[in-house]
């Protein structure tokens, strides 16, 4: 019995071989093996594994090839592929061709120019046979799409996740962008991050850089921030004096849109961010001996509105540009948001200011002089200086951009100021100095 079985098996195999060897000839099916990668049965010339025919049907086909080509599948239900391969339906969401058993809509059953025998030149070409190209054709394409590697993100057969993603949507992106995972551990995390990457990014292509889901970076930011920070958006839109990066829509120049270890999602310390563009000022500050408090503590926003303002130098409040100003209440409010306005209240005082000669208030004297009231920045550098109390090294004088040098020496109970060729003026809080 056993011997009989072996004989029958031998005959069957031999007939199969003869069958297979006969399909690929110079005249017939010679191209079936002209692929870089061949499907196993094709490489072995075992055509009958998938195409079933009796010897008579085979002879008829050889005599009249075009009249008889109806080879049967050895599998009654479903595609012949499942005879060897799994049915690939493992998942809640099954790709339509797989559901229909139409493996050949994507795969060439004989072979192909790639390992999975997909029909197009690339994976993407195969997918685009059915899928609309519209959303994939925009200016900036996501790397895997540009490489034609749709299967990097999508399982082409079945998946438990929507859009046939290979991983849950909140984990997929981190398979490549794993450095972005650490965002969640940073001091400040941008709220949309928790909603997933696709709240801002189009995963296929976009007309905006970084595949943003909008026409531009600024447009995307405004979409949310017009609701969450309407006052800020109003300022950005309507400010008379615009900050260049904001005007150009380069929000990402200052802010990290994902997360940051610094406040306001800035890419660094505020001062460092500002000085990365305002480098000349940055150099001056970094090389100065006396730095204005808010400048030293990254408080550029104490005086400036980085998103735009209705005042020159994008200051938060009006500050006169002129050297001499007839004083009016509120004129130097920008400074008095931190400093004490009492320093201008009285001509004589013992405590409102340390800039006094005896009890004569020298701030009052300088600011309130009729016709020649000095502004704060007439004497003080607003950012940094190499003289104590940020006294500036020179002041503009006359026409022709001439600067009058100012030499200030701080002393225990006062100081001395030499302005240009004028006689030195000294002040002493304890014992009023006679400058006559």
Partner 1 sequence: MNYRIILGCLFSLLIVSTVIGAFPLQQLEKGDTVSLQEFKGLNKELSNIDKNSETKLLLLWRHDKRTNVDTVKNFVEMCSKRGVPCVAVDLQNVTMEKIKGIVGETGENVYFAQDKSSVTDDWGIFTLPVTLFLDKNNKVVNAVGFEGQYAVKVGRYVDFLTGKISEEEYKKFENTNKVNDRRSKLPKINFIKRLIEDGQPEDAKERLKKLDKKDLSMEEKLNLAEVYLKLDMPNKVEEVLKGVSEYNVGAKFYRAYAVYLKGNRDKALNMLHSIEKIYPQKNKLFYLLGEIYKQKGDYKNAAEYFEKSCNNSAI
Residue 263 touches partner 1, criterion: CB under 8 A: yes
Give yes or no for residue 238 binding partner 1 (CB under 8 A): no
| Site for partner 1 contains 196 (CB under 8 A) | no
Residue with tokens 């406040």: 263
- Near partner 1 by CB under 8 A, which window of 40-48, 104-112, 213-221, 270-278? 270-278
Among 79, 111, 144, 308, interactor with partner 1 by CB under 8 A:
144
H or E stretch covering 189? strand 188-189
Q: 89: which 2 tokens? A: 């339906």
Nearest Cα neighbor of 260 from 269, 247, 250, 248 is 269
The contacts of residue 267 (CB under 8 Å, 6+ apart) are: 254, 255, 256, 260, 273
For 117-246, where are the E strands, in sequence order?
A: 140-141, 158-159, 188-189, 205-206
Binding status of residue 152 toward partner 1 by CB under 8 A: yes
- Burial-class residue 164 by CB neighbours within 10 Å (0-12, 13-18, 19+): buried
Residue 298 · residue 269 · CB < 8 Å? yes
Among 124, 202, 270, 391, binds partner 1 (CB under 8 A): 270
Of 208 and 291, the one with the shorter C-beta distance to partner 1 is 291
Least distance to partner 1, CB of residue 176, Å: 4
Q: Site residues for partner 1, window 357-386 (CB under 8 A)?
A: none
- Closest to 41 (Cα-Cα) out of 81, 97, 86: 81
User: Contact with partner 1 (CB under 8 A): which of 339, 366, 380, 425?
Assistant: 339
Tokens of 200: 């801002």
Among 233, 281, 316, 418, binds partner 1 (CB under 8 A): 316
Q: Determine, following the binding rule CB under 8 A, whether residue 302 of this chain makes contact with partner 1.
A: yes
Give me the least distance between CB of 261 and partner 1, in Å please: 5
Q: Which of 68, 327, 336, 397 binds partner 1 (CB under 8 A)?
A: 336
| CB-nearer residue toward partner 1: 166 or 213 | 166
- Residues between 107 and 126 that touch partner 1 (CB under 8 A): 114-116
> Could you say which of 33, 60, 301, 325 contacts partner 1 (CB under 8 A)?
301
H-only helix segments in 205-303: 217-228, 230-238, 244-247, 270-277, 279-286, 293-296
Q: Which of residues 163-192 bind partner 1 (CB under 8 A)?
A: 175-180, 187-188
The answer to whether 78 touches 89, Cβ cutoff 8 Å, is: no
Written as six digits, the tokens of 308 are 């735009």
340 touches partner 1 (CB under 8 A): yes
Among 267, 284, 342, 380, interactor with partner 1 by CB under 8 A = 267
User: Any idea what DSSP says for residue 71?
Assistant: P
280 binds partner 1 (CB under 8 A): no
The candidate with the shortest Cα–Cα distance to 95, out of 159, 161, 157, is: 157
Q: Quick one: 273 or 331, whose CB is closer to partner 1?
A: 273
DSSP 78-99: S-GGGGTS-----SSEE-HHHH
294 binds partner 1 (CB under 8 A): yes
Residues that bind partner 1 (CB under 8 A): 114-116, 143-144, 147, 149, 151-152, 175-180, 187-188, 253, 256, 261-264, 266-273, 276, 289-291, 293-294, 296-302, 316, 336-340, 354, 388, 409-412
């Amino acid at each position: 019995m056993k011997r009989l079985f072996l004989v029958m098996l031998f005959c069957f195999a031999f007939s199969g071989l003869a069958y297979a060897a006969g399909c690929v000839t110079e005249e017939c099916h010679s191209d079936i093996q002209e692929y870089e990668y061949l499907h196993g049965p094709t490489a072995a010339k075992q055509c009958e594994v998938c195409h079933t025919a009796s010897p008579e049907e085979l002879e008829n086909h050889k005599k009249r090839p075009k009249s008889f080509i109806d080879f049967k599948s050895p599998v009654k239900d479903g595609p012949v592929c499942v005879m060897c391969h799994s049915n690939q339906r493992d998942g809640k969401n099954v790709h339509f061709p797989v559901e229909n058993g139409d493996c050949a809509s994507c795969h060439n059953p004989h072979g192909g120019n790639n390992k999975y025998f997909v029909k197009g030149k690339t994976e993407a070409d195969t997918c685009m046979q059915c899928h609309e190209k519209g959303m994939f054709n925009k200016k900036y394409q996501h790397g895997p799409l540009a490489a034609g590697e749709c299967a990097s993100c999508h399982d082409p057969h079945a998946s438990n996740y929507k859009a046939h993603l290979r991983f849950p949507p909140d984990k997929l992106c981190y398979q490549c962008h794993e450095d972005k995972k650490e965002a969640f551990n940073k001091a400040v995390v941008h709220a949309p991050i928790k909603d997933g990457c696709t709240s801002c990014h189009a995963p296929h292509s976009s007309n905006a850089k970084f595949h943003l889901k909008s026409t531009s970076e600024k447009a995307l930011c405004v979409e949310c921030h017009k609701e969450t920070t309407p006052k800020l958006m109003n300022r950005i839109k309507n400010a008379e004096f615009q900050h260049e990066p904001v005007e150009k829509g380069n929000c990402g120049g200052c802010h990290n849109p994902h997360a940051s270890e610094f406040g306001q999602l800035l890419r660094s310390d505020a001062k460092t961010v500002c000085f990365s563009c305002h480098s000349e000022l940055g150099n001056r500050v970094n090389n100065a001996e006396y730095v204005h408090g808010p400048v030293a503590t990254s408080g550029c926003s104490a005086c400036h509105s980085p998103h735009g303002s209705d005042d020159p130098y994008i200051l938060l409040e009006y500050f006169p540009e002129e050297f001499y100003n007839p004083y009016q209440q509120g004129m130097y409010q920008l400074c008095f948001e931190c400093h004490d306005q009492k320093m201008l209240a009285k001509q004589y005082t013992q405590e409102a200011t340390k800039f006094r000669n005896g009890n004569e208030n020298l701030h009052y004297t300088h600011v309130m002089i009729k016709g020649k009231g000095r502004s704060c920045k007439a004497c003080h550098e607003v950012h940094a200086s190499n003289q104590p109390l940020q006294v500036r090294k020179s002041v503009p004088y006359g026409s022709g951009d001439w600067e009058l040098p100012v030499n200030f020496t701080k002393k225990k109970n006062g100081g001395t100021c030499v302005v240009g060729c004028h006689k030195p003026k000294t002040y002493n809080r304890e014992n009023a100095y006679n400058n006559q």
